[in-house]
Amino acid sequence: MTWRAVLGPVAGAVTAVAALGYAQATLPAQPLISDYALVPGGMLPVLVGTLALAAACLSLAYGLAAREPARTAATRVLLLAGAAGLMLSAIFPTDPGMSDVSTLTGEIHRWSAAVVFTALPVAGWTLTRGRAAAPRWSAVKALSVTSGLTLAAYLAAHPAALTSSLIDGETYYGLLERGVVLAEIVLVVAMALASVPRRAAARVQGTRATGAPAQPAQPESPQRLAA
């Protein structure tokens, strides 16, 4: 991936944070992020945020296909699954209420969200397999683990879970869901940044340090080759 290819995932992630943050800040408080789509004025920011994150996943998958088509095949499949889940969850809204799902659209939304929440952490983990030790890959792996652990805590605390009453999960499961969403948005950005070749990153850093545009490497002249 190049730095230009990184702009797509980053722009999508920033748009998702802005749209969902707008809903959180301006609309009446809701237990879950998807519940904002059920209140007046909430459908648009939820749609924009969800579809922007789907676009970020698709853009990242495209960049990985161009950069490392064989090595990132599993990661790209998971990213596409996550993007599809996001689009389905945007099209089919959740049912009102904390634990009861009584309609077909509510079932589709619930299982689509489950695909998203599980696919993205696994995608981050598969992207780091076999990589040389480096801070950028360690960050992706750490975010993948963080997303997975936060997801497990959210599932245990959800009112529909048998463990919810044991850990008083109803009081904070919405906060855990927001933590999962934020961790996975950051994970998508980290995956995109980590996939930039080190030479491209060094070239950009050198350009910023000197203030001069980076010059592409010139092929050797025929005279030098002849010598």
Residue-wise pLDDT for 190-208, tens only, equals 999 999 886 644 444 444 4
Question: What is the sign, positive or negative, of the torsion defined by CA atoms of 47, 53, 56, 62?
Answer: negative
| pLDDT for 96 | 80
Query: For 61, phi and psi rounded to 5 degrees?
Result: -60, -40
Say if residues 45 and 23 touch (Cβ distance below 8 Å): yes
Most confident of 1-15, 87-101, 210-224: 1-15
| pLDDT for 221 | 39
pLDDT higher than threshold 50 for residue 53 = yes
- SS3 state of residue 86: helix
* Total residue length of the chain: 227
Tokens representing 164?
Answer: 């919810």
Any idea which of 90-94, 156-160, 210-214 has the lowest mean pLDDT? 210-214
Residue-wise pLDDT for 103-151, tens only, equals 888 889 999 999 999 999 999 999 999 888 899 999 999 999 999 999 9
Written in H, E and C, the secondary structure of 104-141 is: HHHHHHHHHHHHHHHHHHHHHHHHHCCCCCCHHHHHHH
Say if residues 4 and 14 touch (Cβ distance below 8 Å): no
CA 15/CA 45 separation, integer angstroms = 10
Please indicate whether residue 115 or residue 5 has the higher confidence score (pLDDT).
115
Residue-wise pLDDT for 38-50, tens only, equals 999 999 999 999 9
pLDDT higher than threshold 80 for residue 21 = yes
Please indicate whether residue 156 or residue 2 has the higher confidence score (pLDDT).
156
CA 134/CA 131 separation, integer angstroms = 8
Residue-wise pLDDT for 87-109, tens only, equals 999 999 888 865 566 788 888 99
- SS3 state of residue 144: helix
| pLDDT for 39 | 93
